[in-house]
Amino acid sequence: MNALRTLIAVLAVSSAPALAADFGSSFALHSALTALPVVTLVSSTTLALQAAATTPPDWVFGSLEQGYAGRQISTRLLLWSLPWAGAGIIGLWASSDDGQKGFWGMSGAWGVINSGIALAGLLGAEPLLTDLRNVLFINAGLDIAYMLGGIYLLTRPEATWRGSGVAVLIQGGFLLAFDLIHALLI
What pLDDT, in 10s, does the model give residues 170-179?
999 999 999 9
What pLDDT, on the 0 to 100 scale, is given for residue 180?
A: 92
Q: Is the pLDDT of residue 71 over 50?
A: yes
Say what the pLDDT of residue 134 is: 95
Q: Which residues of 83-120 are buried (b: 16+ CB within 10 A; e: fewer)?
A: bbbbbbbbbbebbebebbbbbbbbbbbbbbebbeebee
Q: 140-149 pLDDT, tens per residue? A: 999 999 999 9
Residue ranges of domains in the chain: 2-185
Is the pLDDT reported for residue 122 higher than 70?
yes
